[in-house]
Structure 1
Amino acid sequence: MRYLLGIDIGRYSSKGVLLDESGAIRATAQRKHDMRVPGPGLAEHDALQDWWEGFRTLSQRLILDSGINPAAIAAVGCSGIGPCALPVTEAGKPLRPAILYGVDTRAEVEIEELNAELGAPAVLARTGNPLTTQSVGPKVRWLAKHEPDTFRKTARIVGCPTFIVHRLTGRWVVDHYGASCYTPFYDLAAKDWHRETVERICPVDWLPEIAWTTEIIGYVSTEAGGETGLAAGTPVIAGTIDAASEAISVGVQRPGDLMIMYGTTAFFIQVNADLVVDSRFWAAPFLFENTWSVMGGLATGGGLTHWFRKEMTGLPDEDSSFQTLMEEALTSPPGANGILMLPYFSGERTPINDPQAKGLIFGLTLAHRRGDIYRALIEGIGHAIRHNLDGFAEIQPARSIYAAGGGVQNPLWTQCVSDIAGVCQNVRQHTVGAALGSAFLAGIGCNIFAPEDIDRINPIVSRIAPNEADRNRYEADHVAFKVLYANNKATMRRSRAS
């Protein structure tokens, strides 16, 4: 029996899965970590403590819990939070905490500078992506301006999967999907770094080699084997960003397939037969040659429910606290007794791409209770998700929509999305997510699995259909949701958090 090991490094935790060659899950493991917020608009991870320690610990635990011989692991796949900007030395030593993806909004000025230098239309045409807080290039420019000592010592700028793969194999590699997020560095037509643009910001040799996601790019070193419990010589694939791996885990791979990922942030990937460039969203090659994707993402999601529980309730950090809040929210009717919430507590990514957007709770009265506010929070995220889905439908109507991520276990959240957006969502048997996707991609890389095998390994077990009566109620609320942002956008820009 051969096995595939997959590990995903997320925003607040890391997860691991061990698959056998039949596709059965033999072991799972999870390790919590934290996201550092050293100031307003800042979001960081410690690459050694959060990324590598997460991978190392979970690898050991999966091998120990399953009781398998490490030599029976046919390949390893890793996915991780992204896109991030981590400056490291040539030896791979982190020089500072990793600057995270779009939830870190520090590089607003640098985005404006680069748009002026490069031309926003030219950037969009070449990369398929507008410059936003999601982009790596402005964060590197910020580093050069604000931390020149660190910048001078830097030999590489890498993201999470690249960092892990280097620790395992000694090679610096990023997959095409991940490379496309290094805006404005990646040239979609050439599927390579655009040297002239890169060198306006940093040396081109700071960037990793580019490979396809499932390529075997190296083998576990003796040193890495000693740290992880893996056998030296175990093949390692290039890996990818967590959202793409999550999409694969629920069967998103054919044109028209769309994933809604319910995680700490909400994320969307739709597969297209052809390249589509839209300034509201992000474009990239998908994980296999000759496929394309369009993506979007909120700046919040499940993370907002954690914020509410921690800062607004006094409830303990336990799963039972969320159950309490859920029960209270279910006593509030659709529409949350007139409360409407904008979930822009960390700015917002797509489709408005506004790092200065602010959270807003509208319609409060003394008659409202905690359950009303919590339901309004869930519904606010649902309206933001619909805002994205409507945009995707304009590009290409979805053939099938799949729900993924830990939030699938929250029936109020998923039902609210179906009701607000008027869509049916397919739910697969396994919701362990990107870790399963990484193991499955490793299986493709070593020819144990074919892409279509995911339908057998992770079958559809349920569908979430919209409740038409509630959908009608939410229609007016959705119009009000968009008007509320439009009418307050200028005020949000004048009101800077301190």
Structure 2
Amino acid sequence: MFLGIDIGTGSTKGVLVTSEGRILDREAIEHNVSTPRPGWFEFDAEQIWWAEIQQISRTLLSRAELPLQGVCVSGMGPCLVVTGEDLKPLRPAILYGVDSRAGAEIDELNQELGAEKIFERCGKQLSSQSVGPKVRWLAQHEPEVFAATRRIFSLNSFIVARLTGEYIQDHHSASQSDPLYDLHSNDWIPEHWQKIVGGVPAPRLVWPAEVVGSVSVEAARLTGIPSGTPVCAGTVDAWAEAFSAGVRQPGDTMLMYGSTLFVVQILQNYQAHEKLWTTTAVEPGSLSLAAGTSTSGTLASWMRQLFGQPSFEQLIAEAERVPPGSNGLLLLPYFAGERTPIFDPQARGAILGLTTAHQRGHLFRAGYEGIGYGARQIMEFLAASAERPSRLVAVGGGTQSKLWTQVTSDITGYAQEIPAETIGASYGDALMAAIGTGAVEAKTDWSRITEIIHPEPRRQELYQELYSIFSELYPATRKAMHQLAALQR
């Protein structure tokens, strides 16, 4: 059997899987992100991530009856973890694009290195998703931490180091570490590394399913994983999840309903778009186009909390009784700034069209629809920059809401395939471990589609009208949003 563990924004999930793809056992631990300041999103990599890896591993393996042949871990990303030689974090990990602290550093690096040259070599513009500006922020705002830094990790590579002692970075995570990695040569850019990271050595580059080391005696004592067990590199959770859903051929596209909405399309050839991220994918030599919003499931959770903690089932039932278009209610889902499609960390949420006739069911449905309009903008960018996605596979916890997936299909016009197993990235991790250790062939695919959500044609005209209004809202309110964001700081 194979152990896959994914550390997400809201929980850590582990799964034990046979080489045929049959799930033997699963375990999950919920956790909360830290937001010490507006625009800051952090985690304690030692007390949460590493501790939960130990807990989930010990729990699952205590119930297992088959021998363990391999381990792989994925996680939210790209994140920034800095440690000393002892691999102990020097500060809380800085998260992916939801953390928007490094805006000034983005501007600095664009000036120093040239925005067009960065786009040409890295396949995307610098944004809050980029790791390089966050390293620069650390050097300028916490110089004592930066001076003590001897290793720079992503989430999964930090766990690999704690399990094996190896200092690696998978190619995909590296390709999101802009402007440090060249997509055309699949290697670090030495002059950029020196300018931004300085004397800290660059990690060895590997592909996500490669075995990079084995579990040490000390890690075995802490985790319960037998010493000597092979460990694969792993990668960012969205790409592990795409891998788990069989999104591996050119044109295959994943839509992940998680804490944020994330889209990954596999490319035939190199393509780049100023509003998207071109990255490597999981398999050697592969490329992908990606996009991600800053809120999705987190917005639904916020509404649930605001409404007094009713069950999601109750809120969905109320939203289902509301007609499409939420009786003329529109919601801009920029409650944590926004990545794709506007790349504006100072954007803010907005609800337009409210009357005293609207109830919480209207608001909840408008939230789903607002996220759906954002998904449509992303799908239009994909179609404009490469080829129209030929196959859309929906994954993530949000697929449990049939209303949400139906609303998204109705707004975007795309059918969505739903796999039988939607546990997601941890399942993809287990598959990478099986492939990396040679237990199964590299082309092995465990996914099985059991449902297809088709768009409802009679709703298209209404949603087209509302989408047009939605698209005008951000440009019309941008100045006011920025003024309010300044007051919030």
TM score, norm. by length of structure 2: 0.98
Which residues in structure 2 correspond to 1:123-272 (within 5 Å)? 123-203=118-198, 205-272=200-267
2:391 alignment partner in structure 1: 400
Give the aligned residue type for 1:264.
S
Q: Distance in 1 between matches of 2:364 and 2:276?
A: 29
Query: Which of 452, 456, 460 is the aligned partner of 1:463?
Result: 452
> For residues 146 and 262 of structure 1, what CA distance do their matches in structure 2 show?
34
Show CA shifts across 1:63-87 (max 9, x none).
Answer: 123333xxx2111111011001111
CA distance in 1, matches of 2:60, 2:202: 32
What secondary structure sits across from 1:378 in the alignment?
helix
Match of 1:484 among 465, 473, 480: 473
Q: Distance in 1 between matches of 2:480 and 2:169?
A: 40
- Per the alignment, in what secondary structure is the counterpart of residue 196 of structure 2? coil
| Cα separation, 2, equivalents of 1:439 and 1:122 | 38
Question: Which residue identity is paired with 1:95?
Answer: L
2:83 to 88, 93, 98: 88
Partner of 2:33: 35
For 1:207 and 1:314, the matched residues in 2 are separated by 48
Tell me, yes or no, if the aligned pair for 1:34 and 1:50 is still in contact at 8 Å.
Answer: no
Secondary structure of residue in 1 paired with 2:195: coil
The equivalent position to 1:426 in structure 2, one of 417, 420, 434, is 417
For 2:447, give the aligned amino acid: N
Gaps of 5+ in 1: none
Uncovered stretches (5+) of structure 2, i.e. residues with no partner: none
Whole-Å separation in 1 of the counterparts to 2:484 and 2:109? 25
Hey, what does 1:7 align to over in structure 2?
5
284, 296, 311: which one aligns with 1:301: 296
Question: How far off its partner does 1:451 sit?
Answer: 4.5
Q: Which residue of 2 aligns with 1:57?
A: 55
One-letter amino acid of the structure 1 residue matched with residue 233 of structure 2: A
Secondary structure of 1:295 counterpart: strand
2:315 match: 325
Q: Quick one: distance in 2 between partners of 1:182 and 1:352?
A: 20
RMSD over aligned Cα atoms? 1.1
For residues 249 and 219 of structure 1, the distance between their equivalents in structure 2, rounded to whole angstroms, comes to 23
Report the 3-state secondary structure (helix = DSSP H, G, I; strand = E; otherwise coil) of the residue aligned with 1:183. coil
Counterpart of 1:140, as a letter, is V
Q: Separation in 2 of the partners of 1:406 and 1:48? A: 26
In 2, Cα distance between equivalents of 1:296 and 1:204: 32
- The whole-number CA distance in structure 1 between the counterparts of 2:138 and 2:282 is 30
Work out whether 1:350 is the aligned partner of 2:340. Answer: yes
Deviation at 1:207, TM superposition (A): 3.2
User: What is the CA distance between 1:202 and its match in structure 2?
Assistant: 1.4
Compared CA separation, residues 322 and 439, structure 1 to 2 (3 A) = same
Q: Size of the alignment, in residue pairs? A: 486
Provide the residue aligned with 1:417 in structure 2. 408
Match of 1:338, SS?
A: coil
CA distance in structure 1 between the partners assigned to 2:366 and 2:383 by the alignment: 25
User: 2-side partners of 1:326 and 1:74: how far apart?
Assistant: 42
Amino acid at match of 1:340: L
Distance 1:306 1:275 in 2: 37
The Cα shift of 1:204 comes to 5.5
- How far the C-alpha of 1:199 sits from its partner, in A, is 1.3
Counterpart position of 1:447: 438
